[in-house]
Amino acid sequence: MINYTLLILIIILFLLILFYILDYNYYKKEIIEIDTIPNNFCEYKEWELENINNDELSDYININNKIMGETFILDTNKENFNILEKYVYELANFHLKRLGKKYDPNIYKLEFWFKNEDLKKRRDNKIIHEFHIDRDERSNDEENLQKIPFLSTVTYLTNSKFPTLISNIKKGYDCIDKQKFDHNILLSTAKKNKHISFKGDHFHGVVNFYKNGENFKEIRKTFMINIWENHVPSSVEYLNLSMDSNYLKNEEYLKIKERNSKYLNYKFDNNDILIDIIKNFQNDDIRLFENSMNIDIRSNMDNNYNIFINNKKN
């Protein structure tokens, strides 16, 4: 006589083993520590702002809270700056100089804005900042909408568990075409006084690895600068606040040092992994990775590792 209960248990066990094997093969990967990421990856670089009290900048922003959420262009005709202007001017000039450029107000415009996000108020599991490219978003002109900055930068004013995701997917590219898909992804840790730069025409955003309400116990503060070349962003005004101007324009204030960063390279056998990650990120979905990998990446990022994801053929 057939023992149907035993048969059902055997079938369930077989299916569990099969699912495990398929899941293992799908997520099969090699993880290695690397000194740096490929030089051509979005022109990504990162630095440390040394001997700087970013709390002073944060306090200044909080006091003048009407600038929060607004975008401004720096007026560089002045000889004295407030602390906001000083950060923008020195960081922009630092990047132009290292790239062999010289600041000319007739050529370059320095756009900047701040985000001061109280994530304690979040009660969902959505992406913090959607997948996007930096461009002239306020323009009604289609030609201007295609304009992108010469360089994009982010400065972290607080530590955060929500990293910046940067891809090498550029605007107008069909990133979901499996025959063409050869992209890489970087998860850059958000650490206080860390400053990063990259080409803003590559899709990027801010990742949420956490379930509803989990770990939403922080205020994430960031400071962004876009350097525009031969273009003035539409409907963006010059900063014009009656603030103390205690900083000389041409006197060095910031100490900018290349960051001694740590990277882990996740190299997947299956190219579909990266396609799924991008699809999920585009769809504002927390399920960027399967659960065990999610936890693994969170743990490594807590240990200050940036995560570089690609497949083995790249």
Average pLDDT for residues 171-177, to the nearest whole number? 53
Residue 118 lies in a domain: yes
Residue 48 lies in a domain: yes
Q: Please tell me the total count of domains within the chain.
A: 1
**Domain of 208: which CATH number?**
2.60.120
Q: Please provide the average confidence, as pLDDT, over all residues in the chain.
A: 78
Domain that holds residue 162: 40-261
Residue 268 lies in a domain: no
pLDDT digits 0-9 by tens, 91-135: 999 999 999 999 999 999 999 998 877 766 555 556 677 778 888
pLDDT digits 0-9 by tens, 190-218: 999 999 999 988 888 888 776 655 556 77
Residue 79 lies in a domain: yes
Residue 165 lies in a domain: yes
pLDDT at 22 over 50: no
Binned at pLDDT 50, 70 and 90, residue 172 comes out as: low
Residue 309 lies in a domain: no
Residue 149 lies in a domain: yes
pLDDT in the model for residue 227: 97
pLDDT in the model for residue 195: 96
Per-residue 3-state assignment (H helix, E strand, C coil) for the chain = CCCHHHHHHHHHHHHHHHHHHHHHHHCCEEEEEECCCCCCCCCCEEEEEECCCHHHHHHHHHHCHHHCCCEEECCCCCCEECHHHHHHHHHHHHHHHHCCCCCCCCCEEEEEEEEEEEHHHCCCCCCCEEEECCCCCCCCCHHHHCCCCCEEEEEECCCEEEEEEEEEEECCCCCCCCCCCCCCEEEEEECCCEEEEECCCEEEEECCCCCCCCCCCCEEEEEEEEEEECCCCCCCEECCCCCCCCEECCCCCCEEEECCCEEEEEEECCCHHHHHHHHHHHCCCCCCCCHHHHHHHHHHHHCCEEEEEEECCC
Residue 292 lies in a domain: no
| Percent share of the chain, pLDDT over 70 | 66
pLDDT at 265 over 70: yes
